[in-house]
Structure 1
Amino acid sequence: MRTSFGKTSEGAEVEMVFLEKGDLSCGILTYGGVLQNLYVPDSSGFDVDVVLGYENVIDYETRSGRMGAIIGRFANRIAEGRFELDGKTYELSRNRGPDHIHGGNKGFDKRIWNIEGSSESSVTLSLQSADGEEGYPGNMDVRVKYTLGDSGLTMDYLAHSDRDTVCNLTNHSYFNLNGHGNGTVEDHHVMINSDRHTVFGGRSLPTGEIASVEGTPLDLREPRAIGTRMRRYGGFDNNYLLDDIMAAKVKGPKTGIEMDVVTDCPAIQFYTANGLKEMEGKDGARYGKWSGLCLETQYCPDSPNHPEFPSAVLRKGDEYRHRTSYIFNLE
């Protein structure tokens, strides 16, 4: 089902597409491809909205967090807003100090996506990104398909370019499995199925070193309540390298809802909303620091400047294709 979600500050119409399958339902916006809500039954059979979001388009335009949005062309940071490809240097927009983050000043999270097709349980959104947009080379065609299954939500990412370029797409949903607006995620139990992380230096940029998580606060190979580590170290904002499609597992103890993250991406960024500002979200909920957690499946931050990382280069005529699923169950 399609319905109006209002208009942007420039008067562009935004639609919401409602998806339903079994006990699950969600709403997808054409603005930013945002996952605006996702209802999952808890251990008592009560439907719980497990993603943070806003009530109207203007809030998505003006407030922080890029909540629920599709991120591109390149998720995460690129140092100094610059990378070299085949001997040519490309200068990108710099929207986080001297660096480029999440696609620039008007990334995919701030664009109106087209509805290519929809059914009761799926919707395909498309976007054309012009050569030179935010400094990136190549005309790029992008499609993202949201499919709601009996047990979870799958996102299929597809992109082509008419020039060699870089591409790194993800979704920036903030999850709270106790229900959005129901406190912080400090009591959540998290498992990240990875024994390696990219070491960060200044401005949260990777140094290029890939290190073991063994003996560090980043070791989440066994499920752990994350609150103590968050309070001690200021929260998580870390990139892990993946060797298996089972990337992560999260549990909200108040609802009993568990979520598995399954992906064919080479890395995952675990972020606990350390910088989220105090604000009002949808349904009158209050959000702020640590109100949700993001599990952004992607390539590594600044990978165009680090040949030691998995390559995010998309060659002309090749296909960028990735799949991530969020699978829900009860303990």
Structure 2
Amino acid sequence: MARAVLPLTVLALCLAALVFSSRAGADAAAGRKMVGVYELKKGDFSIRVTNWGATLMSVVLPDSNGNLGDVVLGYDTVAEYVNGTAYFGGLIGRVANRVANARFTLDGKTYRLFRNDGNNSLHGGHRGFSKVVWTVREHVGGGASPCITLFYHSFDGEQGFPGDLDVYVTYELRSPYVLAVRMNATARGKATPVNLAHHAYWNLGGHGSGTVLDETVQLFASRYTPVDAALIPTGRLAPFYTGNGLAGVRGKDGRVYGRYGALCLETQGFPDAVNHPSFPSQIVRPGQVYEHNMVFRFSFF
């Protein structure tokens, strides 16, 4: 996708996160556990997903001149996702972001998590949801509503988290040029923190086309959670923030992704909420369902 033509004027994201309900999640028939790559296609709009980490590998669509381009950063092969450290396109959990000192107390019991970021637990630990094989429960590659649904059962004690957790994510293509990502998780047996996030890196000029510094994002938020030197929230809420951390990662088509090479919209609950009683709770009780929905709408002019 040529950098001279900015293809998309708006990436609109609608978030309806952290909706709890008492309904139980139905357990669908056993699906496929082999690692593969699955395509969804609707006209000239397509995505690729792998069940390794429920990862979004590509999003291809036309620019205002009809030229096709891939607007998410990533790798060419599943093996590179297995070995990668950038979390490109992955489904992050059981708890996104950092848990301070890799521990928390819930209902009077202290739980110790796997430390993979200094003294902290990051993105669910060294083997979080983006580093496991998911089961493909449904795959409709084309037609009116192309979609793929993936399932993962997280066992009691995995990476130190309490309780069994059934997790689903569905990617769906809608008209015109809309990608919906729907996540939900049901706690089984014990209360547990749940804070899922989708970790796609977006560059509307095409992956590897340079920085995103000439692109504009509007966030309907007035405050953020400042962090300390270890990137743990201080507990304060402050007016706005921006930053970036990519540096020299080799990705698809041999492109090297540099600093400011993408925008990552990690919509999620408050980081480290389990250790901040003043933050909105991320605890899901047995039988409750956590829901987190994202909608990406692409338009042109």
The reply on whether 1:175 has 2:202 as its aligned counterpart is yes
CA distance in 2, matches of 1:296, 1:33: 15
2:50–2:78 contact (8 Å) kept in structure 1: no
* Mapping 1:41-60, distance limit 5 Å: 41-60=62-81
Q: Spell out, residue by residue over 1:136-182, the C-alpha distance to the aligned partner (whole angstroms, 9 max, x if none).
A: 00011101011111121111111111110010111111100000010
Q: Which residue of 2 aligns with 1:282?
A: 252
In structure 1, what is the equivalent of residue 92 of structure 2? 71
Shift of 1:98: 0.2
2:159 partner SS = helix
Match of 2:108 in 1: 87
Change (3 A) 1:288 1:212: closer
1:39-81 deviation per Cα after TM superposition (whole angstroms, max 9, x unaligned): 1211111111000010112211222211000000000010000
Does the 8 A contact of 1:32 with 1:112 survive in 2?
yes
One-letter code aligned to 1:101: L
Residue pair 1:278, 1:288 contacting (<8 A) in 2 also: yes
Write the distance in 2 (CA, Å) between the matches of 1:277 and 1:133.
31
Decide whether the 8 Å contact of 2:114 with 2:125 is kept in 1.
yes
C-alpha offsets along residues 85-121 of structure 1, whole Å, 9 cap, x if unaligned? Answer: 1111110001000000100010011101110012121
User: Is 2:182 the counterpart of 1:156?
Assistant: yes
Aligned-residue identity in percent = 42
Which among 273, 280, 299 is matched to residue 303 of structure 1?
273
Which residue pairs with 1:30 in the alignment? Answer: 51
Cα distance in structure 1, aligned partners of 2:257 and 2:85: 11
* Distance in 2 (alpha carbons) for counterparts of 1:287 and 1:67: 11
Which secondary structure does the structure 1 equivalent of 2:253 belong to? Answer: helix
| Native 8 Å contact 1:30 1:114 kept in 2 | yes
**Which whole-Å CA distance do the structure 2 matches of 1:136 and 1:184 have between them?**
37
Do structure 1's residue 138 and structure 2's residue 159 form an aligned pair?
A: no
Checking the alignment, whether the CA contact within 8 Å between 1:175 and 1:294 is kept in structure 2 is yes
Task: For structure 2, list consecutive stretches of 5 or more residues without a partner in the other structure.
Answer: 1-32
Q: What is residue 217 of structure 2 aligned with on the other side?
A: 190
So what's the TM-score if we normalise by structure 2? 0.84
Q: Report the AA paired with residue 155 of structure 1.
A: V
User: Structure 1, unaligned stretches of length 5 or more?
Assistant: 1-11, 219-234, 237-271
Q: Secondary structure, in 3 states, of the residue corresponding to 1:145?
A: strand
Moved more, 21-30 or 72-81: 21-30
Is this contact kept in 1: 2:46–2:60, CA < 8 A?
yes
* Counterpart in the other structure of 1:316: 286
Query: Aligned equivalents of 1:136 and 1:91: distance in 2?
Result: 8
Quick check: 1:64–1:277 contact (8 Å CA) kept in 2?
A: no
> What amino acid does structure 2 have at the position aligned with 1:302?
D
CA contact under 8 A between 1:277 and 1:289: conserved in structure 2? Answer: yes
Deviation at 1:13, TM superposition (A): 4.2
Q: SS where residue 14 of structure 1 aligns? A: coil
Structure 2 SS opposite 1:210: coil
Matches within 5 A, 1:224-263: 236=243
Q: CA RMSD in A?
A: 1.3
2:293 maps to a residue whose letter is R
8 Å contact from structure 1 (residues 126, 143) kept in 2: yes
Structure 2 residue matching 1:192: 3-state secondary structure: coil
Aligned to 2:4: none
Q: How far apart are residue 310 of structure 1 and its match?
A: 1.4
Counterpart secondary structure, 1:90: strand
Q: CA deviation at 1:320?
A: 0.8
Per the alignment, in what secondary structure is the counterpart of residue 283 of structure 1? helix
CA distance change for structure 1 residues 295 and 176 in 2, over 3 Å: closer, same or farther? same
For the residues of structure 1 that align with 2:99 and 2:85, how far apart are their CA atoms? 20
Which runs of 4 or more aligned residues in structure 1 lie more than 6 Å from their structure 2 counterparts after TM superposition? none
The aligned amino acid for 1:157 is: M
Q: Is residue 147 from structure 1 mapped to residue 172 from structure 2 by the alignment? A: yes
Partner Cα distance (1:277, 1:211) in 2: 27
Question: Contact 1:165–1:313 at 8 Å: present in 2 too?
Answer: yes
